[in-house]
Amino acid sequence: MKQALWENKKLFIRYGRTEGDMKERIVEPLGLVAKGSTWYLVATRDGDIRNYRVSRIGLASMEEETFERPPHFHLPDYWEQSKASFVKNLPAYDVDVWLHPRIIGRITFTGKFVKVVKRDQPADNGWIPATLQFNDEQEAIEFILGFSDQIRVDSPHLQEKVLTAAHAVIASYQGKS
């Protein structure tokens, strides 16, 4: 892969997509980028610049054919734009909740699983109204269940789904599932 980058040679790759199927592609490698411990191949394919997770490349072989790099392509600038675009296009599922004051530190400690979109002043009973953001409804249900009776959901629709999931957990421990 490195030699193809250095010599501006096309690269044949067999790439495993997230759906599990393998696709074969001829790409024009522009650079390698590390995000944490994960490496990505940045390459053009059919005129579009794309990112390929290196760990999903099952096979890579250099072709004899060379290519011209896009004029004015700057890998660090492209990567920053690509990361920003990825974050902007992530799905968002907002949930209005009441949080027990004991869990505020745990909820706001990291934005890895949940983002606190809005947090108001505590009510007279000490519970804090907030809006939490998740990627999807199922992620919200699982997160809320993890806090037991310390998060209360406002939406009757989501309350019903959390209740159904809680009953499923109880049934599994009672050997009824």
Determine what percent of the chain is predicted with pLDDT higher than 70.
96
| Three-class SS state of 113 | coil
Architecture of domain 2-88: Roll (2.30)
pTM of the model: 0.57
How confident is the model at residue 177, as a pLDDT? 57
Instruction: Enumerate the H helices of the chain as residue ranges.
Output: 2-7, 75-88, 104-109, 137-146, 156-173
What are the boundaries of each domain within the chain? 2-88, 93-173
Reported as a single tens digit per residue, the pLDDT across 19-78 is 778 999 999 999 999 988 999 999 999 889 999 999 999 999 999 999 999 999 999 999
Looking from the CA of 124 toward its CB, the CA atoms found within 13 Å total 0
The amino acid at residue 14 is R
Reported as a single tens digit per residue, the pLDDT across 2-21 is 899 999 999 999 998 777 78
Q: Does domain 93-173 have CATH number 2.40.160?
A: no
Mean pLDDT of 132-153: 92
Residue 46: which region, alpha, beta or left (left: phi > 0; alpha: psi -120 to 50)?
Answer: left
How confident is the model at residue 114, as a pLDDT? 82
